Amino acid sequence: MRFEEGTIKECQGEIQRWFNCGKEHENRIEQIRTRDTLSKKQATIKIYKDLESDLPSSINRLKLYRRVRKARSAYMLFNQIGEDKIVRLKSYNANSIARLTRAQIAWIVNNFPSS
């Protein structure tokens, strides 16, 4: 395997892991909303509080927010266009996907060719 192919596969694997984290995050929100009849925002706040108490002090709220945002961005994008599209990525990594705004994700989804 060439170096470049290995790097591409590593990026795809990282995006897949962030996608899975985002999926789990969304599932936890829905579980809390169903169980405790909370709004999405209230459930998200509850999850952040739970996560903060479990994490080492070296990870502050801002770092936690950025990590969750990265996971949610990957999930929002690939949940809509298809998880199987992750393996088609060649020039993007998890950080570039995390920098996408909701509007940019919506544009990609709306302009992505149907399978």
pLDDT, tens digit (0-9, with 9 covering 90-100), for 59-93: 888 888 999 999 999 999 999 999 999 998 888 88
Write down the pLDDT at residue 115.
59
- As given in the structure block, the two tokens for residue 32 are 């809390």
Over residues 14-40, the pLDDT tens digits come to 999 999 999 999 999 999 999 999 999
Over residues 87-108, the pLDDT tens digits come to 988 888 899 999 999 999 999 9
**Res. 2: pLDDT tops 80:** no
Backbone φ and ψ for 62, nearest 5 degrees, come out as -65, -45
Write down the pLDDT at residue 56.
86
CA angle at residue 55 from 78 to 62, to 5 degrees? 65
The domain limits of the chain are 3-111
Write down the pLDDT at residue 71.
95
- Helix axis angle, 61-81 relative to 102-111, nearest 10°? 10
pLDDT (mean) for 54-61:
84
The CA-atom distances, in angstroms, between 90 and each of 7, 9, 37, 56, 74 are 9, 9, 42, 34, 15
Neighbours of 65 (CB within 10 A): 11
